[in-house]
Amino acid sequence: MEDEATSVAAPLLRPRGGVDAEAVKQQLWPAGARVAGEWWVESKKLWRVVGPAIFQRIALYGINVVSQAFIGHMGDLELAAFSIASTVVAGFNFGFLLGMASALETLCGQAFGAKKYHMLGVYLQRSWLVLLMFAVALTPTYVLMEDLLLLIGQPADLASLAGKMSVWLLPQHFAMAMLLPLTRFLQSQLKNWVTAVTAGVALALHLVITYLLVNTLHLGLLGAVAAANVAWWIVVLGQLVYVVGGWCPLSWKGFSMEAFADFWEFIKLSSASGVMLCLENWYYRVLVLLTGYLNNAEIAVDALSICLTINGWEMMIPFGFLAATGVRVANELGAGSGRGARFAIVVSVTTSVAIGLVFWCLIIAYNDKIALLFSSSKVVLDAVSDLSVLLAFTVLLNSVQPVLSGVAIGSGWQALVAYVNVGSYYLVGVPIGAILGWPLHFGVGGIWSGLIGGTAVQTLILAYLTIRCDWDEEAKKASTRMEVWASSK
């Protein structure tokens, strides 16, 4: 009976060596399933921010694309002038204001993760004050654009038309100072559908208004730029009404004098953020400026601006991941979870790279057709086709780099990354590009290749900093910061 009982209780088969295969299977499969489950949960959290963020950025960038498409069919000089105005002066200032607003992602994201909701409205008002102050300080760059272009040797006809356009772009400049903090305020609370809807409505209206002003009323360049100004302010007013109209009851308590508290500390963080993303945003815009010195500059600038517009439009996808990564990392650090922040980074980088590979394949496959939206000039189309390989690799590299910048924003590393950007971009990329472009006679392709090298160096450094970071320690720092804010309230 004892033997029979033993035989019933014992498993019928045992693997050789005394290892229980079923036990091993039970240990392995739950681990794999657990990781897959965590990945799915994190992906849902990520895409809750990424999806609307991508849509919003594509729609907002679409405003510029629509304007450029209408202007591009007016003539090569008009397209080149618009590219210079929107890329150099407006692009530089937009990059700086964008960077300054990214400080809000750090502060609002961590405050939301720590459930200090009332601080979000205070930070929003503080950011408005800072950005509007700097927007006023940057206004002369628009007014003096023609003189600046002539001073650095740009052709007179190009400088004159670009100077006029830059003054017309001033309403967009102040719209940015209002819009960028609003968008980050809403994103940090996962109210991303608001930013997506306002951007989508503005793009649809912009297409109609531009057609009416340019094709029906024949207002030409002025009509195209005026329509863009209207579209940007539609987005601002839509988000502003949502915020102050009572739909953010926890985070918006009305205007407060607290916005002036710790003002200098906020300016320092915003300035560091501004330098970080300004240098990053303006880096490829330097390429347009340098290309203006090449032989047959008008065609070269046209072809390059089309490539950079396509790159910029696709880059709204990794920029969506930048925003989402900043929010997710800041939320997890604010909640004291270093492991959660680390896992969010892995999911975000992996997903963005996969999407980047898809677009790399599309650009390589359709290299001779991608410029038809912007120009019907055969010489311009051929020049764009020649640059398509560089465009494809830029798109692929940029599927990683903005996500890592989002990690820096969510963690509050803006000042450190500003130094990395300066070294990688302007001590490596620009000099190599200049050498390849002129002494070695590779032209615009050589300049662009050098800049790609600078981006690669920056990406490697950011990847190293991210991998080596002690995320548990970063979570402790964020928790301490939240405690300090709570005690000072």
| pLDDT tens column, 90-104 | 777 887 787 788 778
Q: Could you tell me if 478 and 410 are in contact, meaning their C-beta atoms sit under 8 angstroms apart?
A: no
The total number of residues written for the chain in this structure: 489
pLDDT < 70: residue spans in the chain: 1-32, 273, 276-277, 280-281, 284-285, 292, 295-298, 481-489
pLDDT of residue 5: 41
| Integer Cα distance of 390 and 291 in angstroms | 15
DSSP assignments along 420-470, one per residue: HHIIIIIIIIHHHHHHHHTTT--HHHHHHHHHHHHHHHHHHHHHHHHHH--
What tokens does 138 get? 């940057």
- Give the list of residues 6+ apart from residue 161 with CB closer than 8 angstroms, or none: 77, 78, 81, 221
* Cα dihedral: 294, 296, 301, 302 (round 10): -170
pLDDT of residue 32: 64
pLDDT of residue 201: 96
pLDDT of residue 31: 62
